[in-house]
Structure 1
Amino acid sequence: MASTTSPLLLLLAAVAVAMLVVAPVSSADLPSGFASITSKIPNPWSAFQNLTGCHFGEQQQGLAKVKDYLSHFGYLPESSGFNDIFDADLEEAIKVYQRNFGLDVTGVMDASTVAQMMAPRCGVADIINGTSTMGGGAGASSSHVHGRNLFTYFPGSPAWPRSKKSLTYAITQTSLTSIDRATLSQVFARAFARWSAATTLNFTETASAKDADITIGFYAGDHGDGEAFDGPLGTLAHAFSPTNGRFHLDAAEAWVATGDVSRASSDVAVDLESVAVHEIGHLLGLGHSAEPSAIMYPTITSRTRKVDLAEDDVAGIQNLYGGNPNFKGVAPPATSSRDMDSAAGASSRPWSALVSAVAVAAGLAVVAL
């Protein structure tokens, strides 16, 4: 029996499709890491999108790389060779990952999980030796309260000696970056100052790496510390716990050290000061936080500036070193649309509108046929 097509449905379908074609969503409105999909420069983890919907019991090419990713960040034990089978260990690792990032705990490579995995991020693991998980400074919990004591420390809570209030740092490796030395000094001075404002610590740049407590440098690929970099928009940087003092940045990133990074011409531009503030937190002993507004949250969107300590960061660092009596408190939350992507739930994400629009357009088109 032939069906008649409603003119209204055809009109609605046409409008929905036209909205996607004529007014495409900006890369800034997509989840962390999705900016790289619209860029000519691929994200090292962009192939994960081919595994969207993959679940327990399946075997798909590329799952070995997902396992390697989860192993690198502490969710799976290290292995000499992962396979492409979606086994029980992978399912459980994904559930822990989803719980840490505030996603629906499904154990499936759903769209939001894939998007989060593709986000540019810090190279420091979320789970170290199976003990230091994101989720709570006073004892991690799978049912943590949003925004309250979600900071963590490295295993054993290493810190600089309480008697050592003044730390020195040296910028030691700059040959792989085009940013001039004076600008680098200004950026790192501001980044360190954000932590000293809240604590009893003071930081001073020195020209001698030999005399420095902390060394900072730009490196590419395998640079001898066991934590190889992977090119643009993958692992941005990493730093080691106290009192190691090493802070390394991936020289392949499109670092922005001056001006408004949100107006950068490149979709893969990364704000240097934002990453520096995060890595200094590691140098001082902080692990990752499950609070999306925190500096110590593991991921950051390209073309985003995020440099102000959140209450979670301040609580964590002051618990280690004490508070600065002159500290004026945490700055009001930023309102920029390019702030760190919140992992509090799909309904709060700006890119959920895109998913809804696609679903509506597809649904109307089917009904109209």
Structure 2
Amino acid sequence: DFQRVTHLPLSGVLDAPTLHQMAQPRCGTDDGESRAVGTRRASAARRRRRTAQHGGRWYKRHLTYRVVNWPPYLPQHEVRLAVRAAFELWSNVSSLVFWEVQDGPADIRLTFFHGDHNDGLNNAFDGPGGALAHAFFPRRGEAHFDSAERWSLHSGKGRNLFIVVAHEVGHTLGLEHSPVKSALMSPYYKKLSKDFVLSWDDILAVQNLYGEPGFPERPSG
């Protein structure tokens, strides 16, 4: 199943390419049913049902978010800009609207943690590499990031904060991991490219849950 979802030759053994892929940095959120989805030949309707059924959804279109903390070596203003851009990826293609709040309660909270942070041992962060972050489906509204990573606001060295936040925000909205390699919601970290856009798979998934821009969200089921 792992080789299938990561587009590796189906040897059925822990060969060198499989071990190499397992060592790549990725999201720590469970893959759920996406491990069992062999190829992208399934219809778009099937993909949408899978996302809506297993990830859940918010029953409102206006959501607040809060950046609880951030790495001390990153400028606060630039962190907020990167986070806002990550949320805008999703609001640009759906009926969702996001507002930042700087204190108090928020629907979605973004927090940096070290190691075990009371999410259970399966969710304890593992230092540089491995799991970069994880998030929870609606309506818990939390995304956690590994403080031990070297985070960057640009496309150079370090893990690009914008691309990882955008992925984890997808989970907080109800999107599961995608078996489409080019999708933002693919589980493995991808560097930010100059021509980065959401894939058709990402867009179909979020629109199934919340409708297109300017339209009300669709009923679940």
TM-score tier, shorter chain, comes to 0.7 to 0.9
Is the CA contact 1:168–1:213 (under 8 Å) kept in the aligned structure 2? yes
Check conservation: 1:209, 1:215, Cα contact below 8 A.
no
Instruction: Determine the structure 2 residue equivalent to 1:235.
Output: 131
- Give the alignment partner of residue 19 of structure 2, picking from 114, 129, 133: 114
Contact kept in structure 2, 1:122 and 1:299, CA below 8 Å: yes
**Residue equivalent to 1:166:** 62
Aligned-pair distance for 1:105? 1.4
In structure 2, what is the Cα distance between the partners aligned to 1:225 and 1:209? 21
Secondary structure of residue in 2 paired with 1:183? helix
**RCO (CA 8 Å, sep 6+): is it higher in 1 or 2?**
2
Match of 1:104 in 2: 9
Q: 2:179 aligns to what? A: 290
Runs of 4+ in 1 over 4 A off after TM superposition: 146-152
> Shift in Å at residue 237 of structure 1?
0.6
Q: What's the secondary structure of 1:133's corresponding residue?
A: helix
Q: Which whole-Å CA distance do the structure 2 matches of 1:280 and 1:122 have between them?
A: 12
Match of 1:133 in 2: 34
Contact 2:66 2:110 in 1 (8 A): yes
Encode CA deviations 1:259-279: one digit per residue, 9 max, x unaligned. Answer: 3x2xx3x4xx11110111111
Structure 1: state its 5+ residue gaps.
1-95, 327-369
TM-score normalised by the chain length of structure 1: 0.53
Opposite residue 213 of structure 1, the aligned amino acid is: D
* Matched residue, 1:312: 201
Is the partner of 2:140 in helix, strand or coil?
A: coil
Which consecutive unaligned segments of at least 5 residues does structure 2 have? 216-221
Alignment of 1:197-276 (within 5 A): 197-210=92-105, 212-226=106-120, 227-257=123-153, 259=154, 261=155, 264=156, 266=157, 269-276=158-165
Task: Report deviation, 1:133.
Answer: 2.6
Give the match's secondary structure for 1:275. helix
Paired residues of 1:147 and 1:291 also in contact (CA < 8 A) = no
Question: Bigger shift: 111-120 or 312-321?
Answer: 111-120
Aligned length: 209
Tell me if the contact between 2:55 and 2:137 (Cα under 8 Å) persists in the aligned partners: no
3-state SS of paired residue (2:102): coil
CA shift at 1:225, angstroms? 1.5
Partner Cα distance (2:43, 2:73) in 1: 38
Q: Alpha carbons of 1:157 and 1:122: their partners in 2 closer, same or farther (altered >3 Å)?
A: closer
- Partner Cα distance (2:183, 2:43) in 1: 9
Change beyond 3 A, Cα 1:143–1:201: closer
Which structure has the greater CA radius of gyration?
1
Larger relative strand fraction: 2
Which residue does the alignment assign to 1:279?
168
Q: Deviations over 1:103-162 (max 9, x none)?
A: 1111111122112111100000112xxxx2346xxxx4x35428967575376441000x
CA RMSD of aligned residues (A): 2.2
* Number of the residue aligned with 1:90: none
How far residue 223 of structure 1 moved from its aligned partner, in angstroms, is 1.1
